Every structure is written in structure tokens, then in C-alpha cells.
Amino acid sequence: MALTFRGDWTLAHYSALNRLVDAAKSKDIDSDQLDVSQLGRVDTAGASLLVKLVGAGKLIAAVENSDLAREQRALITTVASAMKTEQQPTPKINPILAFVASTGEKVSNIAHLAWLLAGFIGETLTTLFLVLPRPRRWRVTSFVAAVHDTGLNALPIVALLTFLVGAVVAFLGATVLQDFGATIYTVNLVAFSFLREFGVLLAAILLAGRTASSFTAHIGAMKVNEELDAIRTLGLNPVELLVVPRVLAMMVTLPVLTFVGMISGMIGGAVVCAITLEIPLSQYMAIVERDIGLTHFLVGIGKAPVFAFLIAVIGCLEGFKVSGSAQSVGEHTTSSVVQSIFMVILLDSIAALFFMEMGW
């Protein structure tokens, strides 16, 4: 059956044309018997109806052999090609192969991230060792500003959070140990947990969420605004200018915040012990002094600079990876928080196993 198209195929006539297309769609159409030479005006809506009626391949063949205006041929061919791509059936994928491929892709991405992080750590350490022996190249103002932002401003939230967690740990310890008549050991539980783990872990996680995201957003915004390119154009090293002061500031402030977290957590436990267990502060301090060795404090405080270095490096690296849009800034800010918290918990687990095997 030959089919001739004539008149205007535009959005204004879309409803009427669509009904005609639906009525004629079931008929067998031969691509050699399509006549499009009498078409009037055609827009994308009309071209989509033509494709719907005769198919993309048949329409493209008919248009190429017609004497339509060049603009009309180009419009119809473009719409038909786009719809032909959309209409291609999705190939069936073996779910097992898809799972294996997805797992391999994720492992490859993790390996790539680890490789980038290792390279950036090496670049940061190299720059740090080059700058430290040269006081004239120290960025004192940036360092002090970073210390104020990462340390002083974070002090209240760290103290409050660790105080509350210390109270919760004391409540839990008292509840469990009461069945054994050993509530006095709640003091040991609180002091031991905060000196070795909770003090540094809570402070590091808070800084990972608060400070690493700030570093990423700041450096990412600078990259979006092409300020990093301007820094390089001036002959300055962005790592020296932006990363080193932040890394040093974090390595100074996190041990201080860790110490504050330890003290606040133990104070929270002491308050609970005094209220619910009737253990006075003097007895609480005497138990801590008698049973809790200095090694536990050194183990906890010794992990703080390592966590601080990793958090700062990850936050800065994600900022440098921003591609140049506001969406990219948000994505990498989220990624920096997730990676920082993951690395902190992973290293803390490894350190706990190591110190346990060493008997420290």
C-alpha cells in the first residue's frame, strides 16, 4: 500500500495527526512506496509522528530520496536517528556476569582511589620536608587560621559529645555490672575506653565530618573559580599554599581535641558514677590513678596525629579532584567525609589489634 504525506505536520495539528497515525499504524507500509515530496511545514513533533507511523529506517530512506528542502531533510533525519537509537532493544545481560563486572569495576575504582591517595600523600610529605627547613616559606597566617577553624571552633562540640558518650558508657556499664556486684569497675570501663579508643575516635570522626568537608568545599570552590590555575600562573605551589598549613594545623589540633575528649568523657562517667552509683569524685580519681596506666593514654594520644594527617590529606585531595561544577563540589565533599571516616575506623581497628598483640 502506497502512502503519501502532505500538508503541515506541526505541533498545532498534533492531536488530529496522532489519531490518524494510530489508525494507520497496523497497515503494512512499504518503504519504496512512501511519498514525502508533498509535505508542508514539519517540526520535531510532526517528525516524531512520521517515525512512529513508518519507522525510523524507512523514513530516513524515503527522505534521502526525496526533493524536500535541505532544512526539512536534516530535521526529519535528525529526529528519526534519535528515535532509532532510543528504540533499539536493550540487550539481555547475564546477571552473574553483570555482578562480576560491577564488582570488578568497584574494586578497580577503589584501587585507583588508593593509588591517587598514596601519590598525594607522597607529594604532601615531599612539600612538607622542603618547606619546614625554610622558615621564610612558612604560611603562618594560613596555619593559625586553620588552627582556629579546626581546633578552637570544634572544641565545644567535641567536649559536649564526649561528655554525653561518657555518661552513656557509664550508664551501660553500671547496668551490666550491677548483676555481678561489680559496679565499681564502671570507673575502669569508662577510663579505659576513653583513654584508648573513644577520645581519639570521636574527635577524629567529628573532624572528618566537620573539617574534611570544609577543606574539600574550600579548595573545590577555588578550582571552580579557576583560582588554582591563577595560583599556578603566579609560580606558586598549591600544595604548599593550601595543603601543608591545613595538614599541620590538623596534626596540632586533633591531639588537643583528643585530650579534651578524654577528659570530658571521664568527667561524664564521673558524674554518672556520683549520681547513680554513689562513687564520689575522690574515689573515682583514686581508682583511675591506681588501675589505669599511662600506656593507655599514650596509645590513644599517639593515634591522633596519624588520623589528623589522613583526614586533612583526604579532604584536600577531594577538593583538587573537583571537576568544575557545583554538583561536583557536593559529590566530592560527601566523598571526603565518607573516605575520612572509613579510614579512621579502619586504622583504629588495625591499631587495636596491633596493640593487643603487643600487650600495650
Q: What is the pLDDT of residue 28?
A: 56
Comparing CA positions, the residue from 332, 143, 126, 157 lying closest to residue 237 is 126
Q: What is the pLDDT of residue 222?
A: 86
Q: What is the pLDDT of residue 335?
A: 87
Q: What is the pLDDT of residue 164?
A: 93
Q: What is the pLDDT of residue 231?
A: 85
Q: What is the pLDDT of residue 30?
A: 52
Comparing CA positions, the residue from 206, 161, 198 lying closest to residue 296 is 198
Exposure string of 201-215, with b = 16+ CB inside 10 Å and e = fewer, is: bbbbbbbbbbbbbbb
Q: What is the pLDDT of residue 162?
A: 92
Q: What is the pLDDT of residue 29?
A: 53
Comparing CA positions, the residue from 247, 208, 222 lying closest to residue 127 is 247
Q: Is the dihedral of CA 23, 26, 28, 32 positive or negative?
A: positive
Q: What is the distance, to the nearest Å, from the Cα of residue 57 to the centroid of all Cα atoms in its chain?
A: 45
List per-block mean pLDDT (blocks of 10 residues) for the chain, which spans 360 residues: 71 76 64 67 77 74 73 77 64 80 88 88 89 85 87 89 92 83 85 89 90 88 85 86 90 92 91 85 87 86 92 90 81 89 91 84
pTM over 0.75: no
